[in-house]
Structure 1
């Protein structure tokens, strides 16, 4: 299964909303979907979405802080882990279980700690603070094949800015979803993001 490098971050979603909202995202072309663990009954949302969209999307977890969290996500059917920091035991457990690891980084020390621990890709967070210039400077010393994601302030209006400095993709939170937003509106916002991503990725 090939994916656009867009991760939809559904912070605050409930298990009841999970399947219709995730289905709307997939219909719009976003097939990497993160349920942060500080959402209500997050592993239940992951389980329902992973079962309903098997073969069509990858469902993962965000705000993952412990090895126990990683194991719970894997048991629920999640396939990737997004963590806010570079806590090596979380990255190592993610790799051990065959899941993909996207830790949050801000500095060169963070980035190389994550790489040495086995990260699949790096989440530059908050991207709006680090900025495209900061990412460009860091990109110069990172492995060229390692995918970099701008998260925290990235949106369709500035995709081009981050593409230009070597980012492969984006994590989209409140732009895509806030609690109570309908599946239809989530789908519309996702379609706008996909159009901007496709335009930037082929530029």
Structure 2
């Protein structure tokens, strides 16, 4: 089962990349993002892609330039996440055949990103926009647009944000910190998966 949960591993040490990815996969999270402002991010992304790419989607976050996109593509990663909606980054991402998840905050940014070819939208920082803001933006987006909430949102909020129109979540500090032991990461991942599965039950009733 592929859940719309993206693990954001900001600060990941390349030496721990594969074991961390394995722990997330075992818990049920199959989308993993390594932000480019992490230590040697391309090394971590390449290691994850090599070890887990047949079982998980591996991508990069905090991607700010077209050159960054090209460097990430060289690792074999499959998606690009940005904190902003730079149409140059989106267009290069699609030219290279990767999934595009730009960060947006306004309706103007949403429509510009979609026009440039974005596959889904990352509402960031979601906690600042709030659920009412998400509901308002969702009302004007094209039917079928996928939107993810990132920033200030955790597993305890899944149900209310899903009700507001969110399709998935990017999980950072609620799921991973560089100094956490592997067991703590695993426990956090399992709790996040359980919260998501419980939300599906709430939504379906």
C-alpha distance in structure 1 between counterparts of 2:192 and 2:154, whole Å:
7
**Aligned-pair CA distance for 1:194:** 0.5
Residue aligned with 2:58, SS: strand
C-alpha distance in structure 2 between counterparts of 1:182 and 1:74, whole Å:
30
Stretches of structure 1 lacking an aligned partner (at least 5 in a row):
none
**Aligned-pair CA distance for 1:192:** 0.5
**Aligned-pair CA distance for 1:199:** 1.5
Q: 1:159 maps to what in 2?
A: 158
Map 1:107-186 onto structure 2 (within 5 A): 107-186=106-185
Q: 2:12 maps to what in 1?
A: 13
TM-score, with length taken from structure 1: 0.97
Retained in 2: the 8 A contact 1:108–1:138? yes
C-alpha distance in structure 1 between counterparts of 2:80 and 2:129, whole Å:
22
Retained in 2: the 8 A contact 1:163–1:201? no
Q: 1:31 maps to what in 2?
A: 30
TM-score, with length taken from structure 2: 0.96
**Aligned-pair CA distance for 1:160:** 0.6
Retained in 2: the 8 A contact 1:21–1:182? no
Stretches of structure 2 lacking an aligned partner (at least 5 in a row):
none
Query: Aligned residues, how many?
Result: 202
Q: Which runs of 4+ in 1 moved over 3 A?
A: none
Q: 1:200 maps to what in 2?
A: 199
**Aligned-pair CA distance for 1:150:** 0.6
**Aligned-pair CA distance for 1:183:** 1.8
**Aligned-pair CA distance for 1:197:** 0.7
